[in-house]
């Protein structure tokens, strides 16, 4: 059985001064919605970056 690649969708999400470019494709095995997945990725990104000093 030949596996076909799902079409990829690219979207931009701007939060504050940061623009996230998200490339996604559908999966029959996925359990998260796109919104949940993006929130998880952003949360992980924020946790990995060191806190900036406020002036």
Q: What's the pLDDT tens digit per position in 38-51? A: 888 888 888 887 66
Tell me the per-residue pLDDT of 18-42, one tens digit each, with 9 for 90 and over: 888 888 888 888 888 878 888 888 8
Q: Structure pTM?
A: 0.47
User: How far from 40 is each of 1, 13, 16, 20, CA to CA, in Å?
Assistant: 33, 14, 17, 13
Rounded to an integer, what distance in angstroms lies between the CA atom of residue 9 and that of residue 14?
16
In this model, does residue 55 exceed pLDDT 70?
Answer: no
């Amino acid at each position: 059985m030949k596996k076909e690649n799902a079409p990829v969708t690219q979207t931009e999400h701007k939060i504050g001064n940061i623009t996230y470019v998200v490339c996604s494709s559908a999966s029959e095995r996925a359990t998260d919605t796109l919104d949940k997945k993006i929130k998880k990725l952003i949360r992980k990104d924020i946790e990995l970056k060191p806190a900036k000093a406020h002036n």
